[in-house]
Structure 1
Amino acid sequence: MFQTFDTTSSPEQGPPRLAALRQEIAAEGLDGFIVPLADQHQGEYVAACDKRLEWLTGFTGSAGFCVALADRAGVFVDGRYRVQVKAQIAPDFTPVDWPETKLGDWLAASLPDGGRVGFDPWLHTLGEIEAVEARLKGTGIELVESDNLVDRIWPDRPDRPCKPVTRYPDDMAGETDAEKRGRLAAALREAGQQAAVLTLPDSICWLLNVRGSDIPRNPVVQAFAILHDDGKVQIFSDETKFRVLAEAQADDDAIDIAPWDAFEPVLTQLDGPVRVDKSTAPLAVTRALQSADITIALADDPCILPKACKNPIELTSARAAHLRDAAAMCEFLAWLDAEAAKLVGGTGDGLTETQVVQALEGYRRATNALQEISFDTICGSGPNGAIVHYRVTEQTDRALAAGELLLVDSGGQYLDGTTDITRTVAIGTPTDEQRACFTRVLKGMIAISQARWPKGRSGHDLDALARIALWRAGLDYDHGTGHGVGQYLSVHEGPARLSRVSDIALQPGMVLSNEPGYYREGAFGIRIENLIAVQEAPALPGGDAHRAMLDFETLTYVPIDLSLVDADLLDRDERDWLNAYHAECHARLADRVSDTAADWLARATKAI
């Protein structure tokens, strides 16, 4: 099993650790200290040695931060984690609704007489610090660069991961690393930039056609890199990780590998302008360049957009990965349907969330292609389904019960693609309220699937399509509608999203999730998720000939629970889409699954 069910959160440890941190804060002459989730690579998923937020507070979510002051400690979480955080932190910490409450505003209210708040410049970006400082003008509050005070009080902090990289096949990448380096170097020269600093692990992996295993669930390697305008790359990491690259080096010195501690000195020796991404690079990178009076060109990481726009070979591979994963999902859902029938009929021995997770991973492993799961499977029954990023543990494991909903959000890491799918199923006969809520979520998912839009529009312009049916019923959900997905890389990938806050134009080749939901605390959670790829839309009769349009290709083909669909709430186009989708599921999967799953598939894809 890749997934474990141990409890990593320790709320009872929070108060003494907070007290120790406050002692360090006072000793430094500070009034507070910021503890982010992010590591020096600004990762959403971090290595054990970088889980400072979890170690201090007990909160295990994938976004958020804590600010410790002398008399209060706020844990800032977004809408995905407002149920979860209540169960994971001690009363010494106070949840803060973020981003509705800005850090600068909270500090101003909490330190009315001003003060000095420390932060580690390796764990925050220039853009992040600038935004906070802008809101602190006139408050008398100063942000102070500091050593990491949490590391001082963490006696058994784990070592940094040091696992070797592997080469990613060029025939799956669709481009050699030399071609990528040359293409991006040409863009640097055109922009008049001498070099670009790369700090995102997935950017470095994509550029060099390598994959790693430093971060669980994400096939990435932790490193820093500098891409020069001649296409050469300097890597800074544990040198043993990159032995496979060093051994493959030709006579040229296109790739140089150096230890971690060489990074800052090399930064100060560069010729400018040097490209730095203010939204992803640690502030410490900017400070090192400034110390040597090197001209900084603030611009996006040059790998981010090319990486997000999958090439035709990558998309072909992704389609294969999704069909393989869909077959495994159908085997799982057929098994789950049979087990639920036993439960409802009173003939089964009961079924728990952990057993469901184990079964699903088993079906994926049976493909003999699974490299890892793409994140810890979210399997929430009944009220646990309302915890958006719920992770079942031995302590929280809950038995499935008739009349409840089960939300399963999961994915696999395959060499040819990364998958992410959510299905919500009824255990027994659903209530009218459950069916109405589910169908409104489904209407939003269909609306995104059917969307067409002019080139140049972003996820901000589409997000509302997924919410209108919920809004009309006075309902909504507190997370984005979709995130980017990597190609055997991170399951959450920038820069594009389907979100109210995304202004990145959608471009062909981008792979995104489509996952509206609805959550009723203490009762149930609903989410339906497919992965979709942006593509050129065909011209329509009578349309503007000069106006290029885009739409989505669906990559995920797994049936949606028809027992939860209230057909009366769907219009004709929505019913037609659902029936066509299910017909396509059957056509693509019937020959890929066992006889038992094929029988289930035939029932699950019947027209309504």
Structure 2
Amino acid sequence: MTDHSDRLAALRAELVTHGLAGLVVPLTDEHMSEYVGGYAQRLAWLTGFEGSAGTAVVLPETAAIFIDGRYTIQVREQVDAGDWTYVDVPQHSVAGWLARQAKAGQRIGYDPWLHTVGQVAAMRAALADVGAELVAVDANPIDAIWTDRPQPSPARMTVHDDAHAGVASAAKRAAIADWLAEQRADAVVLTALDSIAWALNVRGGDVAHTPVALGYAIVAADGTTDLFVAPGKVDDALRQHLGNAVRIHDRQAFAGALGRYDGQRIAADPERAVAAIHEALAAGGARVLPLRDPVVLAKALKNPAEVAGHRAASIRDGAALSRFLRWIEREGPKGGETELSAAARLLAFREETGLLRDTSFSTISATGAHGAIPHYHVTEASNARIAPGQLFLIDSGGQYADGTTDVTRVMPIGAPTEEMRDRFTRVLKGHIAIATAIFPDGTPGAQIDGFARRPLWEAGLDFGHGTGHGIGSYLAVHEGPQRIAAPNYPGGASLEPLRAGMMLSNEPGYYKAGEYGIRIENLLLTIPVTIPGGDPERPMLGFETLTFAPIERTLIDPALLTQVELSWLNAYHAEVVARIGPVLDGEDRAWLESKCSPVS
């Protein structure tokens, strides 16, 4: 038996002591975060799966792990098929699987601090239909057997300067108060860590790659706020920044505080505030208003300071990436580098800027077949040598005080095949289609997702993930509510209307299992577009590309590009030289100019 087999057996034994037949284990924390601290990595500890999205369900005779198309290959490499059944989502749901697998009389446990109200309702209804019961646990059973479970991070909460934030916290809280007045609500519970960070102009170090601090906030109708955070995270500078209008409490007092709103109307986001919070508010006599966190949209609409900061961060980050691309082109074919050494070299280039705070996620440094795993995570065990004949994919980003970056490039190690060039060029055509898209204000991302796929569809090909995600301002690398994604891909359709000021990624790809992966990713700013002769009553939007680094010319088949696409590519590369060139010196600059010379 493996360690993970032993852990599964231990969990089943622990469940028996609680009178439970099963347990649902999501990959999240008490804040419904996408990326979580080590203390909340229960799914990885139990199964070995290291992806960033997934859920497990354990029953007495069977166990399943639910993953989307980004992790089809990865889950089979990391999770033992002898212990676990692999279940694809969104084709199948946890609730639907429970309805088929659970037996009458069984009690299935769930942690109410790790599930939304909707998730709980769906599972409860499915189990009730077969005579089984969903049971809330007082303490997570995994924690009882995870003997070396990490403690939550002790990192301090820090001040995010108003010069980078663009708007003072007091003004943000006043805007939340105005929203509460519109909703006739007495207060709103903020549970998403990036919402709290944005609203209070604070940052932290509790989650790897995402500068947030563990805590909760309740904003009242007058804008005053109760912040619940571990006492050790607070210092005098933070107290002075927050001022008297923000009352600071121990994080442990949060659950009890939810019972003090008898007769009041309290807003709580049904997607971001866990079931335990909704239940505690209701139990205390509050009327819970299931409304979206008001910070979500406000945070997505970047203000001028945030946009200017991102532009500055993109220049230094693009220069670091360009230096790395030159290095990998030179060193990769020699056979002495690996995925880990390449990731370390790119990190070193970023650190040489003197302004890097962290990477914005674990760098995806993937050569050959590993590139076909969209969210591949290199480890000492999986680390592969970079060798001639492969495609090397590097998806990475930096966290700077003035902006968060995310960019993907692909480099051939030696000469690429004609198939590689064909696939790369089709991905590039899709990338250009998104970059040049013009659409009515309010169009949801789902409606433009197909623009990126058409060149691949025409060859009978596709990619199994969304085309774009929102991004934070020195915050989460994946930020909602906007996305570019159609219904039949992971995460479902993105129906959020696109608005000026939203930032998104543009990252179509192609993945040939067992051989190589391709993805071209830049970040975009949604901007108003004026079209001569257009209907003045129908405002239009388009995108400004924010990321600058060369797109590998030896992988491009110019015969597949239209004249319009060639013009875009050459104009983009000219701008790369104009923006990045002045930051580079000597051979690095000469290399950049050569890489960005016109393609015809």
TM > 0.5: yes
Contact 1:167–1:244 (Cα < 8 Å) also in 2: no
Q: 2:68 is matched with which residue?
A: 78
Match of 1:151 among 143, 149, 169: 143
Identity of aligned residues (%): 45
Contact 1:105–1:136 (8 Å) recurs in 2: no
Partner of 1:473: 459
Match of 1:428 in 2: 414
Q: In structure 2, how many angstroms separate the alpha carbons of the residues matched to 1:139 and 1:570?
A: 56
Shift of 1:240: 2.2
C-alpha displacement of 1:127: 2.3
- Aligned residues of 2:335 and 2:388 also touching (Cα < 8 A): no
Alignment partner for residue 374 of structure 1, among 337, 340, 360?
A: 360
| Residues 310, 473 of structure 2: 8 Å contact kept | yes
Deviation at 1:339, TM superposition (A): 1.7
**Residue identity in the other structure for 1:579:** N
Match of 2:541 in 1: 550
Quote how far apart the aligned CAs of 1:249 are.
6.2
**C-alpha separation in 2, matches of 1:547 and 1:223:** 42
**Counterpart position of 2:187:** 195
Output the CA distance in 2 between the equivalents of 1:61 and 1:499. Answer: 20
- The answer to whether the aligner puts 1:484 opposite 2:448 as a matched pair is no
Q: Distance in 2 between matches of 1:532 and 1:129?
A: 36
Kindly state the Cα deviation for residue 456 of structure 1 after the two structures are TM-superposed: 1.5
Q: Name the amino acid aligned to 1:99.
A: P
Q: Which amino acid aligns with 1:192?
A: R
Structure 2 CA distance for partners of 1:134 and 1:442, relative to 1, 3 Å: farther
Q: Give the match for residue 7 of structure 1.
A: none
Partners of 1:89 and 1:461 in 2: CA distance = 36
Deviation, 1:468, is 1.0
> Which ranges of structure 2 fall in alignment gaps of 5 or more residues?
487-492
Aligned residue identity for 1:418: T
Correspondence for 1:360 among 318, 331, 346? 346
Distance 1:199 1:72, change over 3 A: same
Query: Would the alpha carbon gap of residues 573 and 136 (structure 1) be closer, same or farther in structure 2, given more than 3 Å must change?
Result: farther
TM score, norm. by length of structure 1: 0.95
Give the CA deviation at 1:114. Answer: 6.2
Q: Secondary structure at the match of 1:35?
A: strand
Residues 474 and 244 of structure 1, relative CA distance in 2, 3 Å threshold: farther
Asked if residue 58 in structure 1 is aligned to residue 48 in structure 2, the reply is: yes
Q: Does 2:148 align with 1:162?
A: no
Cα distance in 2, alignment partners of residues 206 and 242 from structure 1 = 17
In structure 2, distance between residues paired with 1:24 and 1:398: 38
Work out whether 1:89 is the aligned partner of 2:79.
Answer: yes
* 1:588 corresponds to 2:574: no
> Structure 1 CA distance, aligned partners of 2:238 and 2:48?
41
Instruction: State the alpha-carbon separation in 2 of the partners of residues 338 and 28 from structure 1.
Output: 59
2:3 maps to a residue whose letter is Q
Structure 1 residue 544 displacement after superposition: 1.6
Q: Secondary structure at the match of 1:82?
A: helix
Match for 1:351: what amino acid? E
Pick aligned residue for 1:29 from 19, 27, 33:
19
**1:6 equivalent in structure 2:** none
> In the alignment, what sits opposite 1:116?
107
Give the C-alpha shift of residue 134 in structure 1.
Answer: 5.0
Q: Give, in whole Å, the separation in 1 of the partners of 2:106 and 2:462.
A: 39
Normalised TM-score (structure 2)? 0.96
Which residue pairs with 2:490 in the alignment? none
Measured in 2, the distance between the counterparts of 1:117 and 1:468 equals: 44
RMSD: 1.5
Contact 1:511 1:533 in 2 (8 A): yes
Give, in whole Å, the separation in 2 of the partners of 1:450 and 1:129: 42
Offset of 1:245 from its aligned partner?
Answer: 5.5
Are 1:224 and 2:222 matched, yes or no?
no
Q: Quick one: which of 501, 506, 510 aligns to 1:518?
A: 510
Kindly indicate whether the alpha-carbon contact (under 8 Å) linking 2:27 and 2:53 is maintained by their aligned counterparts in 1.
yes
Q: Deviations over 1:125-173 (max 9, x none)?
A: 1122234445556333332211311111111211111211111111111
Separation in 2 of the partners of 1:153 and 1:136?
Answer: 26
Maintained 8 Å contact 2:25/2:110: yes
Q: 1:379-528 to 2 correspondence within 5 Å?
A: 379-500=365-486, 501-528=493-520
- Work out which of the residue numbers 111, 136, 140 in structure 1 matches 2:131: 140
**2:159·2:241 contact (CA, 8 Å) conserved in 1?**
no
Partner of residue 18, structure 1: 8
| CA displacement, residues 264-321 of structure 1 (integer Å, 9 cap, x when unaligned) | 2211112521000000111000110111121011101111111111101110111010
Structure 1 alignment gaps of length 5 or more? 1-10
Q: Report the alpha carbon displacement of residue 502 of structure 1 after superposing the two structures with TM.
A: 1.1
Q: Call closer, same or farther: CA 1:523–1:457 in 2, change over 3 Å.
A: same
Identify the residue that residue 241 of structure 1 maps to in structure 2. 233
Residue 253 of structure 2: aligned partner? 262
Distance 1:244 1:520, change over 3 A: farther
Amino acid of the structure 2 residue aligned with 1:438 = F
**Partner SS for 1:397:** coil
Aligned length: 590
